[in-house]
Amino acid sequence: MKVLCKVENELRDEDNKGLVIMDLNIILLGPPGCGKGTQAKMLTEQYKIPQVSTGDILREALKKETAMGLKAKSYMDSGKLVPDEVVIGIIQDRLKQSDCQKGFILDGFPRTVVQAEALDKTLKDMGKKIEHSISIDVDDEELLGRLTGRRTCRSCGAMYHVLFNPSKKEGVCDACSGELYQRDDDKEETISNRLNIYKQQTAPLIDYYKKKDILRLVTGTGKIENIFKRIKDVLK
Ligand code: AMP
């Protein structure tokens, strides 16, 4: 009998003779502040596949003041979703790049059913599909505490928390010495808006992926390493 076991992002026969390499195409779903970005970075390390974050791509475009970045700014600052056609275009371009051909971790995309359907179509045209859609569950009260205390590095995007994961020197990134700042959309007045939008527009994706039988539910509380272990377990 052929039993497959996972070695990084490769699948091998149990006798290790025939090497079967499979794509590892993952979606990380969950409300803002549930830890998608942190877990995506850890998965990138583990499986050597890129993190594809529409939020990071949009922030980078904004920093460079491209037309797309400037268009997205007002939506992002107020915690609203950027129009579907903009983020779908971003993802279609990004997934065609060579580093995504052996797998990828989608972080923050899709966020609406229209985006999920467009993703399915794009992947189908590429002869690919999503293997796992991992929903990270955290309650609202904890999310609020996590988001208001979150600080992000302007240079490398590393994330900290003023209480739970502070940088060694206040306001300075441990990794690259960049400046830490509070994203406008992490301010209290915007957070409840983001959480409402998540419930109305993104949470229906849980059902969408459940119906496709690729939904994996993971509890997103506790130590970061334990959450990571739970995620690796569902990927087995
Ligand atoms: P994030 O870093 O994923 O929390 O995203 C920050 C902001 O970027 C969101 O609040 C939205 O304004 C925008 N954004 C990121 N991803 C998407 C998406 N898939 N659809 C629409 N807007 C998005």
Which of 29, 1, 14, 16 lies closest to 234 in space, CA to CA? 29
Known catalytic membership, residue 59? no
pTM, two decimal places: 0.86
Measured from the Cα of 194, ligand 1's closest atom is 10
Known catalytic membership, residue 94? no
Catalytic residue among 59, 94, 111, 216: 111
Strand-by-strand arrangement of the 132-137 sheet: 51-53, 103-107, 24-29, 132-137, 215-219
pLDDT tens-place string over residues 188-224: 888 989 999 999 999 999 999 999 999 999 999 999 9
State if residue 31 touches ligand 1 by the CB under 6 angstroms criterion: no
pLDDT tens-place string over residues 10-39: 444 344 444 445 689 999 999 999 999 999
Known catalytic membership, residue 183? yes
Token reading at 93: 């371009």
Structurally, what CATH architecture does the domain formed by 4-143+199-235 represent? 3-Layer(aba) Sandwich (3.40)
